[in-house]
């Protein structure tokens, strides 16, 4: 999203606004990069074969990385805003090397505090929700 | 299992305290791997350089639950994480993370009862300012 289309003020937001979709990079290289810095280098995140052998659909993206991806999506939409709170539920595995889509929609607005609530999802290629959550964003 | 009794006995007490040094290069790597593009999170030379708001969700204490807690968490699953940002976290900060059970409650669904244990970790910096609160929900089937 370029700067001209991003949101900078509370009054630019409307109830029901959709955040621009993001297709995050969840390649093995990026997940390993995330794992290297956070210590999350377990095979269930970094090795498809071992993950499948254990019954998973493949290596999975760490939940806290999915959470970070959603925060980054909010920042692209509203670069000057502050994410005060993000609550995420890791409903089902998000597979490494897949092509998920992140979406967000404004579901509540607080004029007094100049905050908005955003419902968030990460879906896989089949449109199934893997991660869902809500965020409170301040302007 | 009496959930109210369990909560009364175990919730609220700090059972683990850990300290963490905040490293600037790790802040950048975390942010970039998540697709972050704003310089205040990705560029160490930015005047307002800081951790992304969800950064503290990466930290763990030395134990998940208090010693002697009477529930076998081997059978539990991750119910999600909630991060509340309170103040910027900067490179060089020393954070203290204090863990406690914040809440224990029960919900009943189509497949029966489930117990939710909310593990809360509160982070303060070297000036004793609260910078972040992370709630981690652990879920266990009952019965």
Give residue-wise pLDDT tens across range A87-130.
999 999 999 999 999 999 999 999 999 999 999 999 999 999 99
Q: Is the pLDDT of residue A1 over 70?
A: no
Is A104 an 8 Å CB contact of chain B? Answer: no
pLDDT of residue A3 exceeding 80, the answer is no
pLDDT beyond 60 at A2: no
Could you tell me the mean pLDDT of each successive run of 10 residues in chain B, 143 residues long? 90 96 98 98 98 97 90 80 98 98 91 90 98 94 78
Nearest CA in chain B to A66: B34
pLDDT value at residue A46: 96
Joined together, the tokens standing for residue B43 give 């560029």
For residue A53, the model assigns a pLDDT of 96
What is the pLDDT, as a whole number, of residue B2?
A: 87
Tell me which chain B residue has its CA closest to the CA of residue A22: B35
| Rounded Cα–Cα distance for residues A20 and A14 (Å) | 14
Residues of chain B whose beta carbon is less than 8 angstroms from a beta carbon of chain A are 26, 29-38, 41, 52-54, 57-58, 78-85, 135
The answer to whether the pTM exceeds 0.90 is yes
Would you state the pLDDT for residue B112? 84
State the ipTM, two decimals: 0.94
**Degrees (nearest 5) of the Cα angle A133, A21, A35?**
60
- Helix/strand/coil (H, E, C) string of A72-115? HHHHHHCCCCEEEEEEEEECCCCECCCCCEEEEEEEEEECCCCE
Q: What is the rounded CA–CA span in Å between residue B121 and residue B14? A: 9
The mean pLDDT value for A60-80 works out to 97
């Amino acid at each position: 999203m370029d700067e001209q289309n991003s949101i900078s003020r509370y009054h630019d937001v409307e109830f029901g606004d959709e955040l621009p979709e993001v297709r995050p990079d969840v390649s093995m290289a990026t997940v390993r990069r995330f794992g290297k810095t956070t210590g999350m280098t377990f095979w269930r995140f970094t090795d498809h074969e071992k993950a499948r052998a254990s019954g998973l659909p493949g290596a999975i993206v760490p939940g806290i990385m999915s959470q970070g991806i959603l925060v980054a999506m909010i920042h692209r939409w509203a670069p000057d805003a502050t994410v005060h709170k993000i609550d995420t539920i890791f409903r089902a595995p998000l597979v490494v090397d897949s092509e998920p889509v992140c979406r967000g929609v404004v579901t509540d607005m607080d004029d007094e505090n100049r905050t908005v609530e955003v419902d968030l999802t990460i879906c896989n290629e089949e449109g199934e929700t893997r991660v869902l959550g809500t965020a409170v964003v301040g302007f | 299992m009496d959930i109210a009794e369990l909560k009364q006995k175990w919730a609220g007490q700090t059972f683990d305290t850990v300290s963490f040094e905040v490293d600037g290069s790790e802040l950048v790597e975390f942010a970039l791997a998540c697709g972050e593009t704003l310089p205040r999170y990705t560029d160490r030379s930015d005047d307002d350089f800081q951790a992304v708001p969800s950064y503290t969700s990466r930290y763990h204490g030395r134990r998940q639950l208090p010693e002697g807690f009477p529930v076998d968490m081997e059978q539990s699953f991750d119910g999600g994480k909630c991060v509340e940002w309170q103040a910027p976290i900067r490179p060089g900060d020393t954070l203290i993370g204090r863990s406690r059970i914040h809440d224990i409650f029960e919900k009943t669904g189509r497949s029966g009862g489930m117990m939710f244990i909310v593990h809360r970790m509160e982070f303060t910096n070297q000036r004793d300012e609260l910078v972040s609160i992370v709630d981690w929900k652990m879920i266990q089937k009952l019965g």
